[in-house]
Each structure stands twice: as structure tokens, then as C-alpha cells.
Amino acid sequence: MQTPPPPAKVCFSSDVRNMDAWAKRTGIPLTTAEALGTNYARAHRWLMSLKEQLVREHGWKDVVPGDPRMLFTVECESPWRGPGGLPLSPKLRLQLPTNATSFFSPERRVQWQMVFHSDIFATQRKLVAPLSDMLNIIQCLLTGMVVLMHEEQVAQSVYRTSRGLPSAEWVNINQQTLINIFGRAQFNQLWRACNDQTIAYKLDVEPRR
């Protein structure tokens, strides 16, 4: 019986060179930090509405008092339980910053790695729609910063397939909201990129070590 491939990992990187490479793939200019921040600010209402869904429908709770540097901070008990019913891991904590520049702060790199590399996005996004939506929004706003990566070893090589954009179906469903954030021209470029798998996915091949 063939072993199923491992699931894709969520990988966070604030390396601007990586984002620039994705910008060249998609045809969507990386522009300036100010422009990226403007689009991120326009997405605040959408992100907050998804946070409210987590609180209202999925058992998450606002952390009080809140950190003024964060757009929101919410927590949830780990869904994984031991034989006695006790959580097998600490509470899940989800934060997003008020300003997009926080993602690129060297002092906060580990903080954002802990958020995006956690079980929240590794498994819970597949079960909780608002988490998946948040990841998709971040991929649209800051393409290349958070990717889904599938790694496979074949012969003497390692194949890494990265998905830097959400599905075309998701973009179609959320078309009007995305247009409100990006404008028609950038949305059209985003739509084209998401509909072209040779752009939305990137393959890197490295020799096995």
C-alpha cells in the first residue's frame, strides 16, 4: 500500500526578496511599504468580521486587555484531548497586527512564525472556514509572505511545490470585497494569477543532502 503524501505545510517568511520573486511571477508589483499597508488597512474590516465569526461560532475568546499594536488577539482551547479529557497542548493564540509593517520587523519574526506555523493554520484552517479565509486574504495582500508548501523526495532530489495564492474559486466568491480592497486593475491581475496554476504554484528542485 502506497504511503499518502504528507500534508502541505504553512510557511511564513518576511524576506522581501522572496515576495519580490512572487511579484514577478504574478505580475502584481510589490510597490511600496505604504501601498501594502494601505491595502492591509482596507482589509481590517474583513479580518475583524472573520475574527467575530471565530468568537461567535467557533469558541474563540478575545484576549483582554488587548495589545494596542494588534488588530486582534483571540484564544481557543486546543481541540486535541488526552484520555482524561485534558488538552494535549496549550491554548491556540491567533494574532494579527494593526500595521502590516509588523510582519517585517526582525524583532517580531519569531512571533509571526509561531502564529503561522502553529496548529491554527496547519490543521484548524481545514476545519474552520474563517481561519482559511484569513490565510487566503493574507496571501492576496502580501503574496509570498505565507505559502503552502508540499515537499516530496524523489530519487536524489527534493521537490518543493509552493502555493502562494488562494484558489480561483475563492477569489471568484469574494470578488467584490477584493475589488474594494485592491481596485479593479489589481484585482484583475490577481484573478489571472490565481487562475493560472503555473503562476499560483512554484516548483523548486534541490539535490538531497
Dump pLDDT digits (tens) for 124-166. 999 999 999 999 999 999 999 999 998 887 777 888 899 999 9
Does position 208 have pLDDT exceeding 80, yes or no?
no
Which amino acid is located at 182 in the chain?
F
Higher pLDDT, 78 or 42: 42
Which residue do the cell numbers 484564544 mark?
Answer: 75
Q: Where are the domains of the chain?
A: 9-207
Per-residue pLDDT band at 13 (split at 50, 70, 90): very high
Higher pLDDT, 65 or 117: 117
How far apart are alpha carbons 7 and 10 in whole angstroms? 10
Average pLDDT over residues 173-183: 97
pLDDT value at residue 88: 60
Per-residue pLDDT, 106: 93
Count Cβ atoms below 10 Å from residue 165 Cβ, excluding itself: 27
Residues 47-93 have pLDDT tens digits of 999 999 999 999 999 998 878 899 999 999 877 666 766 666 678 99
Q: What single-letter DSSP state applies at residue 60?
A: -
pLDDT at 6: 64
pLDDT of residue 64: 87
pLDDT level of residue 5 (50, 70, 90 thresholds): low
Mean pLDDT of the chain: 90
Residues 6+ apart with CB under 8 A from 88: 78, 80, 81, 82
Can you tell me the distance from the alpha carbon of 26 to that of 191, in angstroms, rounded to the nearest whole number? 10
pLDDT the model gives residue 133:
98
Q: What is the CA radius of gyration of the chain?
A: 18
Residue 206's pLDDT is 79
Question: According to the model, what pLDDT value does residue 35 have?
Answer: 84
CB 12 within 8 A of CB 117: yes
Are the C-beta atoms of 12 and 114 separated by less than 8 Å?
no
Q: What is the pLDDT of residue 1?
A: 45
- Alpha carbon distance 25, 199 (integer Å): 6
Spatial distance between the Cα atoms of 44 and 141, rounded to a whole number of angstroms: 11
